[in-house]
């Protein structure tokens, strides 16, 4: 499938040939100064950070969880 041609910014695009979503996203990233490689690196860094945070939370939960105490029933006298 051939790539969709992009119209210059501000130019009117024909109604019969709408821009594909992937091309629009590429254009937005390009305008923001992000290329595909940089976006991929950022995504990977974000996911690794989330994994690290989750592991840290799990370690905290395991370390701070006291051993469950067995509750014993108390006898109470009712008057």
- Locate the domains of the chain by residue range: 21-63
Mean pLDDT of 61-70: 73
pTM over 0.85: no
Taking only the tens place, the pLDDT of each residue in 5-63 is 555 666 655 556 677 877 887 788 888 888 888 888 988 999 999 999 999 999 888 87
Take residue 16 and report the two structure tokens written for it. 């019969």
> What phi and psi values does residue 61 have, to the nearest 5 degrees?
-65, -40
Take residue 67 and report the two structure tokens written for it. 């051993």
């Amino acid at each position: 499938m051939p790539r969709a041609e992009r119209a210059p910014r501000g130019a009117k695009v024909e109604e019969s040939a709408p821009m594909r979503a992937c091309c629009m996203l590429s254009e937005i990233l390009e305008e923001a100064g992000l290329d595909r490689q940089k976006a991929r690196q950022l995504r990977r860094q974000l996911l690794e950070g989330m994994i690290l945070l989750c592991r840290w939370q799990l370690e905290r939960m395991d370390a701070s969880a006291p051993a469950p105490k067995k509750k014993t029933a108390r006898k109470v006298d009712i008057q």
